Amino acid sequence: MTRAALFDVDGTLVDTNYLHAATWWEALRQAGHRVPCHALHGAIGLGGRDLLDHVLGTGDRNRDRDAAISAAHKALYGAFHERLTAFDRAGDLLRGLADRGWRVVLVTSAGVGELGALRRAIGADDVLTEIASADDVSEGKPAPEPVEQARRVAGASAEETVFVGDSVWDMRAAVRAGVTPLAVLSGGIPRADLELAGAQEVYADPADLLARLDGSAFARLEGSTAPD
C-alpha cells in the first residue's frame, strides 16, 4: 500500500512566514499601498496573484502594477535566501516518515531559486519522492489542485495521504482534496483558526510532530493498512 506524506514548506518546515510578510509589506509600500503586516501574515500561503487580491481586494482594482509588486517582493525576499533556517528537526521528520515507508512530497508555490534555498535549509533531499510546484497546477491553495497533484505524483489514494501545513489555506486545500489535514503552529496562525479550517490534529512544530509520531494520524493510517 502506497502512503503519501505531503508537506507545505514555508512556515511548516522552514521559518519564513514573517520574512514573507515583511518583504510583501515593503513591496506594497513601494507601490503606494499601506497594508498592515497582520493582514499580510494571514495571507501567506496564497500564491502571489491570490495574495494581492486578498489584501488589496478584487472588484475593479487596477492590476497593472501587480507584476511589479510581485517582482519587488521576490527581489527583497531573495536577499534572505542564504540565511533561511529550517525549524528544529524538520529534516529528521521527513527522514523518519520515509523510514516508515511513506513517500514524502513537498507542496510549494516557490520558484526555482527560492525552492533551492528552502531545500538547502531542510537538508533532506535524499528522502524526497518529488516536489509539486506551482508550475504543475493552474490554481494554488486553497484550491485542492496542488494537494491532488502531489498525491498523484506519490501514487497514493486520498485515504492514504496526509498533508501537513501551517495555514488555513493549507487546511482548506487538504479538506477539499479529501486527504487527512494536520497542522503546525510554527507559521504563527492560531490553533482555533487551523481547527476551524479542518485540521484534525495540531502540533507545535515539526519537532513536536516527530516526537508524537506514534500517536498521530500517520501511525493510525499505518495500522489501518498493516497486513493481517
* 3-state SS track over 33-79: CCCCHHHHHHHECECHHHHHHHHHCCCCCCCCCHHHHHHHHHHHHHC
The CATH number given to whatever domain includes residue 151 is 3.40.50.1000
- What pLDDT does residue 227 have? 44
- What pLDDT does residue 104 have? 98
Mean pLDDT in runs of 10 for the chain (228 residues)?
A: 96 98 98 96 94 92 93 97 98 98 94 92 96 80 94 96 98 98 98 98 98 98 69
Residue 50 · residue 35 · CB < 8 Å: no
Strands 161-165 and 3-8: parallel
118 and 56 share a domain?
no
**Number of domains within the chain:** 2
149 and 105 share a domain?
yes
71 and 104 share a domain?
no
Backbone angles phi, psi at 140, to 5 degrees: -90, 175
Full domain range(s) for residue 45:
17-79
The CATH number given to whatever domain includes residue 27 is 1.10.150
97 and 210 share a domain?
yes
130 and 109 share a domain?
yes
- What pLDDT does residue 113 have? 87
- What pLDDT does residue 228 have? 39
Full-prediction pTM beyond 0.75? yes
